């Protein structure tokens, strides 16, 4: 495989790689590639692939894939060596000594962990290691994607069950990663290869549809020629191409639309020199043809999170044929095809003329602040490989992002994220105390799904005043939030029932110091009441929500329990009037949290509910339920049932609520007599 070459020249096997590399980097130094190839060839000599080919053909093919996409020399050097440390006697120290720390880092990043050491966890832990390495240098993942693409191309020699296993991991993990890194050229081929293995019947049917279409004349050619004619008469220099759909794209289009029209098997791609030309071409098309307005999208002004930029539109020509169109610059097209590979070395310094100052001169990987940062944050908290693997697949299934404005900055979240997800992304563990949220100034639930551009204000209670409940797991979408909530619930099993569903406390006789004390249910109030009959369960009445040091009276109810009411409660008065014999009760020292219902009287005004709720949250109270009566004569009444961590905090809470502009009274509420 080394072939004949003059001393110091390139081996014949490297010529095609060198040509592809020089097409993108004419002045590249090829000496490292030559040395890397010679080391790889000698190290892998005698090893064969399952297809029967010499093993060196694999790193050569991987390197060619990357060279054709425009990868720089360091990446190509690492791709030639990517299997040497894993499969030969070459050590990482050797690679570092001969090729430098960058190449060694990339090779180490894609080297698999040994099954002997990790067992069934080897694959998820290898991906975890690879993703952590990608956090410092995205070139690690580009080498892995090219490696997987060549393996998928030659997967036919393996057993069907192994083909299916590799194809599933490719579909669930590597294809979404290729999408997020913007490497569309790799993504589309990987999609078709996985589609062919996992759904052979659908693949065969789709290929038959594509062959039947290709057998006849393509009407999109006539549409493309009409567009060229329009643009020839314009001052914009443009190149018009036809981009055929790949197999999985055709399959998805058929499932979505039904039988495809004659122009639905491809799209027009128009390439221009600069951004302004994109909009000029758009104007020409919308002037000379009938635009389909619903199909217009501007990904130049608002790029996708994976660096993609383009104008999307569609139009109908004079014969009624509808064609989809992509308009982009040549540079946008390179990035659309190669993604982060087109950016080159993320660590090299920017050219001096492009640098604003020394701080900005350092090249920055634009994917690092978004999805990759979030992934790296939660993966370190995943307790075991299975949890990491499940959450990784779930996280990567979210293929869109939204941007929300929160706390004076921006948050980039996966589409479908809720206020709770934003709270954990913004505050980390402090989000355990989140009690409410306002979106665009309006009070909303913590499970509200956020939209792109929302302004979010999160309401946090003081530390320790409240915590997550199990129903939060129904409202979090991101792995970071889900892992954090589960950890808190596991550490606080007594807080495992949501406050909204907390049952009334009953005495179970197991408390310290004897029976007759209410045993608080998870999340319920913890005020302690003692009765003379220690074997009788005790409940605090919900109609008047007594708290220490209210004067209270107990009444026996069905089932032998004792219900405790405030002396001023109308229900208690009615029971006394009917001849019910009260049971002596008293508050015990050391009582904790409590539940209380407050009635706020106020003059109606905008944002009153939001301001009252914020005042409640600041005082550390959790809202269990809230009810707003219809306003009468500009006056409105709010009824809140709240949980306080300490009954002594009630006076301060009521003062804070009275301090809200428009509120003229706050009183303890009792249920009216019926």
- Do residues 310 and 37 lie in contact, with contact meaning Cβ atoms separated by under 8 Å? no
Q: Is the peptide bond before 549 cis (omega within 30 degrees of 0)?
A: yes
Q: Which residue has the tokens 């990904």?
A: 299
Give how far the C-alpha of residue 241 lies from the chain's centroid of Cα atoms, to the nearest Å.
35
Strand order in the sheet with 538-540: 538-540, 562-566, 552-556
Distance CA 33, CA 36 (A): 5
Distance CA 401, CA 268 (A): 27
Q: Which residue has the tokens 């249920």?
A: 671
What residues form DSSP beta bridges with 216? none
What residues form DSSP beta bridges with 529? 587
Angle, in degrees to the nearest 10, between helices 330-338 and 184-198:
40
The string of DSSP letters for 207-244 reads HHHHHHHHTS--HHHHHHHHHHHHHHTSS---EEEEEE
Distance CA 405, CA 391 (A): 26
Catalytic residue among 15, 53, 83, 87: 87
Catalytic residue among 41, 72, 86, 125: 86
Q: Which residue has the tokens 């208690």?
A: 572
Is 603 exposed, middle or buried, given 0-12, 13-18 or 19+ CB atoms closer than 10 A? middle
Is 6 exposed, middle or buried, given 0-12, 13-18 or 19+ CB atoms closer than 10 A? exposed
Our answer to whether residue 395 is catalytic in this structure is no
User: Please, what sign has the CA dihedral across residues 228, 230, 231, 233?
Assistant: positive
Residue 640: which H helix or E strand, with range? strand 635-644
Q: Say how many CA atoms lie within 13 Å of 474 toward its Cβ.
A: 5
What residues form DSSP beta bridges with 665? 601
The string of DSSP letters for 504-546 reads PPEE-S-STT-SSSEEPPTTS----EEESSTTS-EEE-TTT--
- Do residues 602 and 639 lie in contact, with contact meaning Cβ atoms separated by under 8 Å? no
Our answer to whether residue 508 is catalytic in this structure is no
Residues annotated as catalytic (active site), given as ranges: 86-87
């Amino acid at each position: 495989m080394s072939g004949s070459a003059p001393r110091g020249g390139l081996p014949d096997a490297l010529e095609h790689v060198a040509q592809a590399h020089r097409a993108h980097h004419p002045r590249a130094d090829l000496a490292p590639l030559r040395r890397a190839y010679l080391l790889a060839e000698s190290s892998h000599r005698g090893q064969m692939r399952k297809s029967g080919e010499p093993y060196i053909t694999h790193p050569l093919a991987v390197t060619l894939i990357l060279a054709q996409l425009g990868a720089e020399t360091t990446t190509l050097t690492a791709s030639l060596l990517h299997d040497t440390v894993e499969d030969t006697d070459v050590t990482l120290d050797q690679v570092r000594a001969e090729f430098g720390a960058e190449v060694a880092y990339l090779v180490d990043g894609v080297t698999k962990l040994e099954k002997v050491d990790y067992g069934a966890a080897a694959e998820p832990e290898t991906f975890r290691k690879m993703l952590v390495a990608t956090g410092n240098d995205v070139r690690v993942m580009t080498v892995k994607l090219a490696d997987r693409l060549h393996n998928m191309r030659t997967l036919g020699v393996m057993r069907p069950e192994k083909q299916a296993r590799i194809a599933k991991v490719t579909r669930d993990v590597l294809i979404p990663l290729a999408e997020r890194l913007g490497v569309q050229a790799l993504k589309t081929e990987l999609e078709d290869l996985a589609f062919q293995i996992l759904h052979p019947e659908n693949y065969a049917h789709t290929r038959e549809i594509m062959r039947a279409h290709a057998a006849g004349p393509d009407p999109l050619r006539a549409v493309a020629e009409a567009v060229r004619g329009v643009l020839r008469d314009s001052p914009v220099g443009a190149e018009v191409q036809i981009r055929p759909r790949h197999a999985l794209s055709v399959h998805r289009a058929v499932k979505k639309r039904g039988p495809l029209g004659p122009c639905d098997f491809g799209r027009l791609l128009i390439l221009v020199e600069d951004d302004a030309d994109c909009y000029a071409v758009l104007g020409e098309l919308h002037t000379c043809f009938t635009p389909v307005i619903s199909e217009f999208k501007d990904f130049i002004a608002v790029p996708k999170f994976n660096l993609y930029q383009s104008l999307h539109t569609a139009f109908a020509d004079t014969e009624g044929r509808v064609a989809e169109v992509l308009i982009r610059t040549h540079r946008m097209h390179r990035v659309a095809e190669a993604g982060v590979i087109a950016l080159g070395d993320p660590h090299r310094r920017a050219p001096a003329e492009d640098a604003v100052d020394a701080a900005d001169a350092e090249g920055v990987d634009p994917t690092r602040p978004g999805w990759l940062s979030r992934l790296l944050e939660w993966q370190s908290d995943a307790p075991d490989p299975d949890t990491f693997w499940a959450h990784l697949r779930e996280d990567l299934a979210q293929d869109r992002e939204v941007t929300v404005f929160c706390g004076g900055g921006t948050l980039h979240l996966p589409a479908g994220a809720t206020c709770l997800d934003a709270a954990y992304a913004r505050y980390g563990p402090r989000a355990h105390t989140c009690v409410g949220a306002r979106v665009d100034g309006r009070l909303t639930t913590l499970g509200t799904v956020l939209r792109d551009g929302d302004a979010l204000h999160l309401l946090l209670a003081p530390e320790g005043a409240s915590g997550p409940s199990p129903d939060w797991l129904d409202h979090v979408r991101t792995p970071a939030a889900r892992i954090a909530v589960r950890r808190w619930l596991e550490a606080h099993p007594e807080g495992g029932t949501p406050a909204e569903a907390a049952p009334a406390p009953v005495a179970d006789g197991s408390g310290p110091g004897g029976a007759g004390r209410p045993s608080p249910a998870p999340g319920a109030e913890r005020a302690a009441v003692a009765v003379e009959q220690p074997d009788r369960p005790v409940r605090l009445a919900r109609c008047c929500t007594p708290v220490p040091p209210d004067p209270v009276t107990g009444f026996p109810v069905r089932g032998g329990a004792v219900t405790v009411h405030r002396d001023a409660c109308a229900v208690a008065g009615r029971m006394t009037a009917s001849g019910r014999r009260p049971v002596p009760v008293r508050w015990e020292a050391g009582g904790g949290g409590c539940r209380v219902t407050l009635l706020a009287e106020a003059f109606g005004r905008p944002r009153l509910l939001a301001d009252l709720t914020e005042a409640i949250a600041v005082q550390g109270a959790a809202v269990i339920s809230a009810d707003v009566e219809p306003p009468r004569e500009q006056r409105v009444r709010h009824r809140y049932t709240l949980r306080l961590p300490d009954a002594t905090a009630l006076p301060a809470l009521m003062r804070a609520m009275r301090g809200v502009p428009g509120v003229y009274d706050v009183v303890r509420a009792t249920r009216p007599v019926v």
